[in-house]
Chains A and B, each alone.
Chain A
Amino acid sequence: MSATVGQPRQFCTLGGQQSVVAIERAIPIVHGGPGCSGKIFGGMSFFNGFQGSGYAGGNAVPGTNSCEKDIVFGGEQRLREVIDGTLKVMDGDLFVVLTGCTADLVGDDTATVVSEYRERGVPIVHASTGGFKGYNHLGHELVVKAIIEQLLVPAKAINPTLVNVWSVIPYQDTFWAGNLNAIRELLEGIGFEVNILFGHDSGGVAAWKRIPEAALNLVLSPWVGLSIAEKLQERFNTPYLHYPVLPIGAVETTRFLRTVAEFAQLPFQPVEDFIVKKEGHFYHFLDRAADFFMEMRWDLPGRFINISDSIYALGISRFLVNELSLHPAQQVVTDEPPEEHREDIRRHFAELKETVSAEVIFSNDSDTISRQLRKKGYDLPPLIIGSSWDRDLAREMGGFHLSIAMPVMDRLVLDRGYVGYEGGLRLIEDIYGSVLGTY
C-alpha cells in the first residue's frame, strides 16, 4: 500500500480497535492522538451501516489523547495514568492497548508498560497498531495475535469437536454480526461446537481462553486470518483448514460443509441430513423467485462488478455465477492482499466456473477503480456491488448499485448476513430490491 487514495474503502491498522469492541466486555485503550479512535469508529462502524458503539466503543473508548508534550517527552507516563483510570472506571474483562501513529513514531515502550500490569494479574495486552503500518485487516490480525501471544496458555485437553473460526472482520464487514452467526449455525448444524469469538453471545474472554482447546482452526477467507491460524498451529499444534471462499448460497455452502466435515472426519449421515434440509429451504425460495427471474430479466444487469475486499468479491462472484447465471465484468479487490496471496486470488477468479472467469483489479483508490471500469465500457447497465462511494459511478455508468462494503452510508444494518443458504437468499433480495427500486 503506497499509492495515494481517493475515497478510501479501507482504513488503518488502528482499525483493530473495532475487533476489540467486538469481543464481549473487552475494552480498547487507544494510546494515540485525540482524534484517532473516533475517526476509526466513524469510518468502520457508524458510517458503515450505522453499526453502533457496542459495549465499550464509540465515546467510551479510553484514550491518552496524546498532546505535544507526549510527542516531545514521550507518552509512557500518560499511558500509565490512563490505564490506571481505566481499571477503576471501566467495567471490563479484557483490556487491549492499541498504539496510534504518535506513540509508535516517538517510540514509546508500550509493550513494557503494559506487561507491568499483566505481571500484576491484569488481563491486559498490547498491539502495536500505528496507522502507518497498514490497513485494518492487518490491525485485526495484530490484535488477535496479541491476545494469543500475551494471554493464552496451552490447554490441558483438546476438545475434539471444538472449532475456532477466523473469517470476516468485525465492523469492517458491515454484515459481520449476521455472517458470523450464520457460520456458527452452519457448523453447529453438522456437529461442531463453535468458538465464533466476536459478537453478541460469543462468550467473551472465557471463549478466547478456550482457543487452545480447539481441535481445529477454520480460516474462511482468501487470506485474512491465515497468519492467525499459522500462529496457533505453531503455539498450540492446532491444525487448520483454509477454505478461501466465503460460502454464499447453496452450491458453495454445501461444498464448504462437506469439506470441513471431511477434514474433521465427522460422521457422514448427520452432515448430509443437515445439508438436505437446508438446501430444501434454499431451493424452495429460489423457485419462488423464478417467476421474477424468468419474466423480468430482460432489463436486468448485464454484468456485475464487485468492488469490495477479497472475501466478499470472491464469495459473491462465485454465488452470482454459479447460481444466478449472472456474468462477471472486472472484479475489484480493495483490501490490497499481500503479494504472496494475489496469485491464488487471481486463480480463484479465473475459475469461477469451468466456463466463466473474471479479471481482477487490486486497488483501494476510487480514481483508479473508476478509470479502469470506465475504460471497459458496457453495453448493458452493470450492477455494481460495492460501497456507498460507488453510487456516483453507478449513476454515471447507467447501472444498478448495492452497498455491501465499507463504507456503507445508505443502509442501516443490524443482524443481516449474506453467508450460508439463507444469506444467499438475502443477497438475492437485496440485489433485485436495489434494481427494482430504480424503476
Chain B
Amino acid sequence: MSVEQQIRQPFTANPVRANRGTGVQIRERRLGSITGFVGTAGELVQIARAGELAERERSFTQAGTCSSFCATLQLSLIQDAVVINHAPAGCAGDFPMFNLYNRYGQGKRKLTRQNARLLTTNLNEQDTIFGATHKLAEAIHKAYRTFQPKAIFVTASCTSGIIGEDLESVIEEAEQELGIPIASVNCEGFRSQVWATGWDAAYNSILRKIVRPPHQKLPETINIITFIGEDYFSELLQPIGLKPNLVVPFTGVEQLERLSEAGATAHMCSTLGTFLAAGLEREYGVPEIKSPPPYGLASTDRWLREVATLTGKSAHVEPFIAAERAAIAAQLEIFRKRFAGRKAFVAAGPSHGHSSMEVLQNLGFDLVGSCIFHHDARLDHGDPAGDSLQAATQHTPGLSYGVCNKQAFELVNLLRRLQPDLVIVRHPSLALSVAKLGIPAVFVDDEHIALGYRGLIRYACKLTNWLANPALERTLARTTKLPYTDWWLNQPPFSMLGEPR
C-alpha cells in the first residue's frame, strides 16, 4: 500500500459521523472550539456568542496532550471494565498514571487496591504494513480471559487511524462470541488539538454500548459527571432530598447502564460532561442541568435552584441556600479581608477554570489573568445559559483572559510580567513552571474541594496554607533555570499567536 493510500483510507473507510455514529465529531467542528485567544473575558463571551470565534494557531508550540489520554483516564477507572489501546507501546506511557489514580482513588473509597486493567496491542512496523486486527482480537480474548470484565473499550491511536484499522468488524465478532459490550473509542491523537475531544469519545462509547433504557425512574438521583474528587456533592444535594451518582471514574458497568434512570444530569465541569449529559437528555429524556457547576456563591445558588425546579424540590431549596450562606458568612468575611488585594491567576480547562475564577473573586482575590486550555463556543445542549465564562465574569467582563493549550513558554513569559501572588493549576505538568518563577502554584488535586458554600471555606483554608510559606518555590526560583532564551522572555507573551483564521 502506498503512503498516500495509507493516509486517505481512514477518512473514506471510516467517515466521521456526528454524535450517533461510531465516532464522535471533534470539538473544533462540533462546538467551534479554539485553543488560542487573548483579550478580555467579555470580548470572548461576545465573539463566541456571535458565532465569530476563530482559531489562532501558534507558530511555535510545545508538545500537548491528546484525546486518547483523556478518553482512557475516564474509562480505565471503571472498575469492572478493561481498556485496550490499539497502538504502539509508547501510547501506553500514560498507563502508570491511570494505575496510580486508580489505586489512590480505591484507597480513598475503601476499596481493595488493584491495578488498573489496561492492555496495549503493541503495534509494530509489520503491523503498520499488514494490519493488526488479529492482534486486537487476541487482546480482546486475553482481556476477557484475564479479567472477566463486564465491558471492554478499545481506544484508537494515531497509528491505528492512519493505517485504517477496521475496529468495528473485530469488535462485532468478539461481542457475539463473548456476550459483553465492546466499544471502540475514536480518540486518535491527531484528529483534534482539543484534548477534551477525548472525553467525548469515551462518553460516546458509553452512550452507544453501555447505557440501557431505564427499567425504572429514580427522580431523586442526580448523575454528576466528574473525575475522582471526594463526594462533596452530597453536602449540597442530600439536604434537599437528592442523591448524587458520581460518574464515570470508580463506577461499575451496571451503574453506568442505569444512567438513564436518573432524575437529572449535572456536571462538576460542563466542558467535561457536555457530550454525555446532552446525550442522556436527547436519548433518554434525562434533563441536563444547564447552569454552570456549583462553585462560587452566585453559581451555587443558580445551580441549586435549577436542580430543585427540575426535581420538584423547590420548596426545600430557598431555606437551604439561606442557611448555608449564613453558616459561612462570618468566616468568608475573614478570608475576604485576608486575600483582599492579592493577585491570582488561573491555569485550567474551561469550565472548571471559570468556576475557579468565580471562587477566587468570591474570596477577595484580584484576578490578573488566565491560561484556559481551550474555549468551546457553545456546549452540546446549545443553551447560552450554560456559558460558565459569562457566569464567572458577569460583573468583571474586563478581566484579561487568555486561551492557551498548556504552552508553558507562553505562560512563563506572561507570569513573569504579572507576578501574581498565587496561581491555580488544574492540569498535570504546569505547576512546576510556575513554582520555578517563585510563585506559589496550587495544583488542585481534588476538583470538588471548592464546591458549594462550605467549599469556599475549605478552599480558602488550603490557599492560606499554600500562601503562608512559599519557601520551596523561592528556593526553586533561586536555584533552577528555565529553558527559555532571554530573547523570548523579552517578547510580548502572545507574540507566537497567529492571526484569527
Contacts and interface: CB of A to CB of B under 8 A. Distances in A.
Given A42-B93, A106-B7, A6 B190 contact: no
Contacts of A71: 7, 158, 162, 190
Contact of A36 (B90, B103, B486, B487): B90
A33 B61 contact: no
A36 B63 CA distance: 8
B43 interface: no
Contact of B124 (A11, A35, A46, A134): A134
A90 B61 contact: no
B201 interface: no
A367 interface: yes
Given A39-B90, A131-B89, A81 B119 contact: no
Contacts of B126: 2
Interface string A13-25: 1110000000000
Chief secondary structure at chain B's binding surface: helix
A39 B94 contact: yes
Interface residues of B, number: 78
B432 A53 contact: yes
Contacts of B487: 88-89
Interface in A1-58: 1-8, 10-15, 27, 30, 32-44, 46-48, 53, 55-56, 58
Contacts of A34: 63-66, 189-190, 193, 195
A102 B69 contact: no
A101 B127 contact: no
A3 B122 contact: yes
Interface in B111-166: 114-115, 118-128, 135, 138-139, 142-143, 146, 157-159, 162-163
A100 B157 CA distance: 12
Interface residues of A, number: 80
B96 A62 contact: no
Given A39-B91, A84-B59, A389 B162 contact: no
Interface string A72-94: 10000000011011101111100
B159 A63 contact: no
A67 interface: yes
Contacts of B118: 6-7
Nearest to B160: A101
A6 B119 contact: yes
A324 interface: no
Interface centre among A60, A86, A130, A134 (most CB of B within 10 A): A60
A8 B89 contact: yes
A233 to B, nearest CB: 27
Given A34-B65, A85-B60, A44 B119 contact: no
A62 B488 contact: no
A82 B60 CA distance: 5
Given A59-B430, A59-B432, A86 B96 contact: no
B400 interface: no
Contacts of A39: 66, 69, 90-94
Contact of A33 (B59, B158, B482): B158
A194 to B, nearest CB: 25
Contacts of A59: 62, 406, 408, 429-430, 432-433
Contacts of A431: none
B409 interface: yes
B429 A58 contact: yes
A105 interface: yes
Given A65-B193, A70-B190, A88-B485, A38 B90 contact: no
Contacts of B238: none
A385 interface: no
A88 B491 CA distance: 11
Given A5-B119, A35-B69, A388-B99, A132 B485 contact: no
Contacts of A131: 87-91, 159
Given A59-B406, A105-B162, A409-B96, A4 B135 contact: yes
Contact of B408 (A60, A65, A66): A60
B34 to A, nearest CB: 13
B97 interface: yes
Interface in A86-116: 86, 88-92, 100-102, 105-107
B50 interface: no
A136 B89 CA distance: 9
A46 B60 contact: no
A47 B119 CA distance: 17
A404 to B, nearest CB: 15
A359 interface: no
B6 interface: yes
A64 interface: yes
A85 B496 CA distance: 8
A424 interface: no
B221 interface: no
A89 to B, nearest CB: 4
B463 to A, nearest CB: 23
Given A8-B95, A63-B62, A136-B90, 7 more contacts: A7-B115, A35-B91, A38-B94, A46-B97, A62-B62, A65-B63, A367-B142
28 contacts: A2-B126, A6-B118, A10-B89, A11-B92, A12-B91, A34-B66, A35-B94, A38-B69, A39-B92, A42-B428, A43-B94, A43-B95, A46-B429, A47-B96, A48-B96, A55-B481, A58-B429, A68-B191, A71-B162, A72-B11, A89-B409, A90-B488, A105-B159, A131-B159, A136-B90, A388-B99, A389-B115, A392-B114
